[in-house]
A and B are shown apart, each in its own frame.
Chain A
Amino acid sequence: MTTPSEVLPAVHGAELTKDGHPYGSKPIENTALLGMLLFIASEIMFFAGLFAAYFDIRAKNLPHWPALPEGAEFGVTPVIIAATFILISSSAVIEWGVIRIRRGDRRGMNRAFALTVLMGVTFLALEATDWYILASEGVTLSGSVFGSLYFTMTGFHFAHVLGGVIGISIMLGRGVSGQFSARHHTAAEAVSYYWHFVDVVWVLLFATFYILR
C-alpha cells in the first residue's frame, strides 16, 4: 500500500509522522493547536481564580459550610448526576470522532460531533433545571456567599459549555460540507481539546461542590 507521503511531495503539513499521524497533529508542531492549548491554559487560570476564591471563603467559614440560609438545602440530585454522566460521556464521543477523522472517516466524525452537540445541549438543559431546583430550595446567588460561588462558577462553566457547543456545531457544519480530511482537520481537533477541558472543569466543580463540600 502506498502511503500518502510516497505519492505526494513532501510539503510542510502534509507529511506523515512515523506512526501514521498526519504531520502537525502533535500539538507543538501545529501552530493552531498550540494556540488552542495556550488559550486553554489561560482558561485554566481563570477557573483557578474562581476556585481559589471558593477555597478561601470556605476556609474562612468552616465549620459552617456551606453557609446556606435557613431551610435551604444543597446536595447531589439525580439531575446533576445525569448531567455529569452525559458530559463525561460526550468527551469520549468527541474523541472517537477525532479518531475517525484521523483515519479519513468523514461520516464517523460528523456523527460523533452531532451526537456531542446533542449531549452538550442536554447538559445545558439539565444544568439549567438543576439551577431552577436549587433556587426554589433557597439557594440563590444573592442569598448566600455559597450561592454566589456556586452560581458564578457553574454559570461561567455553563457559558464555556455553550461556547463549546457552538464551536462543535461549526465544526459539524464544516464537516458536513466536506472540509475535513485525514490530513486537514486541525480545527476539529482543537475544538475537541477545548471540549475535554470543559469536561475536566466540570469534574473538578462536581468534586468540589458535591463531594468535598
Chain B
Amino acid sequence: MATTTLSPRASAYTARSRVLEWLTTTDHKKIGIMYITTAYIFFLLAGLMALGIRTELAFPGTQILDPALYNQAFTMHGTTMIFFFVMPMLAGFANYIVPLQIGAADMAFPRINALSFWIIPFSGVLLFSSFLLGGAANGGWTSYTPLSEATYSTTSGQDLWLAALILSGVSSIMGAINFLATTFRLRAPGMTMLRMPIFTWTVLVTNVLLLFAVPVLAAGMLMLFIDRNYGGSFFNPAAGGDTILWQHIFWFFGHPEVYILILPAFGIISEVIPVFSRKPLFGYKAFVIATVSIGVLGFGVWAHHMFTTGAVFLPFFSITTFLIAVPTGVKMFNWIATMWRGKIVFHTPMLFAVGFLASFLIGGLDGAFSASTPIDFALQDTYWIVSHLHYVLFGGSALAIMAATYYWFPKMTGRFLSERIGKVQFWIVLIATQLTFFPMHLLGLNGMPRRIQDYAPNAGWQDLNVLATIGSFGLGLGVALMMWNIFASLRGPKTAGDDPWEGNTLEWATTSPPPSYNFDHLPEIRSERPVFDLRHPGAGHAPALTAGDGAKP
C-alpha cells in the first residue's frame, strides 16, 4: 500500500473556526461530504415515513395514519427520497470523487458549487415546514393536476412543495453546469475522454440529462404555481387549459430523472466490480456508448407513464421503452463479464455491488412488462409499479449508494467502515429488500392499486402486506446498523492509507483524505486505470492473442 508523502505546506493552513470553515468552504471534498451527510439525514426522515406507510398498510382499517396524513406521507416519502436523498447523495459522491478521478484540483466553479449545496438543506427545510403550516403536499410526488390545483389542494403544502422543488432544481442546474465544465475542461494531461473512469462518464451523462430536463420541470411547476396563486388556467380544462399537459411536462422531466437517479449508481458499480475482481471493466467503450444511448433514449420514452390516459401515441413510446432495455442489458452482461475469470474478494463494497446486480435485474425486467401497452393497462397504478420502482431505486440506487459509502469512506476519512457490521448489515438489507418489495409484484397483479390508505379485509391482500411490512422494518434495521457503523467508524484508527482496495483510478493516487489541493503529483495517465498501471507496469493489457482482444469465457 503506497502512501503519498505530502509537501510540507499541505497542512500549513488551519482555519480559525471549524464551523466557519465548513460553512464557507468551496472545497469540493467538504461540499461532497456535506451533500452526503444531508442526504443521509433526509433518507432517515423519508424512511420513517415509509415505516409509517407500511405499518398502516399491514392491516385493514386505520391504524396510525388517517387518509389525510397518509396521502401526505407517501407524497413526502417519494419527494424526499428522490430530491433530497438520491439526488444530493449522488451529487455528493460526484462532487468528492469526479475532480479527483480526472486529476483536477477542484470543480470549475467552486463558489457556485457551494451555493448549489446550501440550497439543498434550505429547500428541504422549506419542504418539511409544510407539515407545520397546514399540511404537506398530498397529491403524490407526481402532483397531477387538477388534484394539485388550488380548488382541490387547498393548503399551502402544495405551494411549499413547488417552491422547494424549484429551488432544488436551480441547485441541480447549477451543479450540471459545474460538472460539465469541469469534466470537459479540467482533465489532467493524458486523460482523454475515453480514459475517464466510468463513474465520471455516468456523472457526465447524468448532468447532461439534468441540464436539459430540470428546466422543463421548472417551467411546469411555475405554471402550476401561477395557476394556484395568480389565476392562471394552464391546466384547467374548463378554462381552455389542458390537464394532461402537466403530465407531459412532468414526465418529460420525470423520465430522464429516473436515469439521473440510476446512471451514477451504474457508475459506482462499474468502479467497484473491476477493483474487487482485479480485472478491467469489460467493454469500456460499449459501456460509454450504452450510457450515452440511455441518456438520449431516455428523452424519448416519457409517455409510457401515460399509457392509460388514452391521449398518447402508444406505439412510439412502447418501442422506445422496449429499446431502452438493450443498453441496460449490455451493462448487466458487461459487469458479469468483468467478474468472469476474475479473482473476486468480497469486501463489503463488492457485496453491495453484487446485491445491486441481483436486485436491479428484477427491477429492470419489470420494466419490460410495462413497456407492453396491454400489460401496462392492467398493471399501471398498481403495486406492480410500486414494486418496480422500489427495485430499481432501492435495489438499484440505494444499494449502489451503500456500496459507494463503504468503498469511498476510507478515502474520505482515512478509516475503514467495520467490515463485520458491514457484512451483517448487507445481508439484512439484501434479504429485507426482497421481502419488502417482491410481494408487491403479486399484489399489483392481483389488483391492489397504489396510493390507497386502506383495502378491503376480504381482498386477500393482507398476508403479503404483512410480509412487506416485516421486510420494511428489516430494512430499517439494516439502515440503522449502517448509520451506527458510520458513527462508530469515524472514531476508528486511521489505517486506510492512500489505496486500501488496490484501486484503479486517480483518487487512490493521493492521501486519505486528500490535501485541499488534491494531488502533490499525478501518475502518468495512459489508460482508464492509471493507478493500476502504476502498480502493475505493463500488465494492464491481456497478452496478445490471434484475435487480439482476450478470449471468450
What is A's interface to B at a CB cutoff of 8 Å?
28, 31, 34-35, 38-39, 41-43, 45-50, 52-53, 56-57, 60-61, 67, 141-142, 144-146, 148-149, 152, 156
Contacts and interface: CB of A to CB of B under 8 A. Distances in A.
Contact of A43 (B178, B215, B239): B215
A49 B177 contact: no
**Which of A42, A53, A56, A141 has the most B CB atoms < 10 Å from its CB?**
A42
A52 B211 CA distance: 17
B460 interface: no
Tell me the dominant secondary structure on chain B's binding face: helix
B266 to A, nearest CB: 23
Contact of A142 (B177, B185, B218, B232): B232
Contacts of B233: 142, 144-145, 148
Interface stretch (B219-227, B357-365, B450-458, B510-518): B219-227
A38 B211 CA distance: 8
Given A52-B249, A57-B241, A31 B232 contact: no
Nearest to B170: A42
A127 to B, nearest CB: 18
B185 A53 contact: no
A53 B249 contact: yes
Given A41-B211, A144-B233, A46 B219 contact: yes
B78 to A, nearest CB: 22
Given A42-B214, A49-B217, A145-B233, 13 more contacts: A34-B181, A34-B184, A43-B215, A45-B216, A47-B219, A48-B219, A57-B242, A60-B242, A67-B240, A141-B232, A148-B233, A148-B234, A156-B222
A53 B234 contact: yes
Contacts of A49: 215-220, 249, 252
A45 B181 CA distance: 18
Interface string B397-412: 0000000000000000
Given A35-B108, A38-B176, A152-B232, A144 B240 contact: yes
B102 interface: no
A213 B176 CA distance: 35
B215 A145 contact: no
B118 interface: no
A124 B144 CA distance: 35
Contacts of B40: none
B108 A31 contact: yes
Nearest to B253: A49
A146 B239 CA distance: 10
Contacts of A53: 219-220, 223, 234, 245, 249
Contacts of A152: 222-223, 226, 232, 234
Given A38-B211, A57-B240, A61-B240, A148 B226 contact: yes
A17 to B, nearest CB: 17
A45 B177 contact: no
B165 to A, nearest CB: 14
A184 B178 CA distance: 22
Contacts of B219: 46-50, 53
A45 B245 CA distance: 16
A127 B422 CA distance: 62
Contact of A45 (B108, B211, B226, B248): B211
Nearest to B220: A49
A141 B215 contact: no
B245 A56 contact: yes
Contacts of B230: 141-142
Given A144-B233, A152-B223, A56 B240 contact: no
B242 A56 contact: yes
A52 B239 CA distance: 18
B177 A39 contact: yes
Given A46-B218, A144-B239, A34 B234 contact: no
**Which of A31, A35, A49, A60 has the most B CB atoms < 10 Å from its CB?**
A49
Given A35-B109, A46-B219, A57 B231 contact: no
Nearest to A43: B215
B148 to A, nearest CB: 16
Contacts of B218: 46, 49
A42 B177 contact: yes
B211 A42 contact: yes
B90 interface: no
Nearest to A39: B177
Contacts of A35: 108-109, 177-178, 181
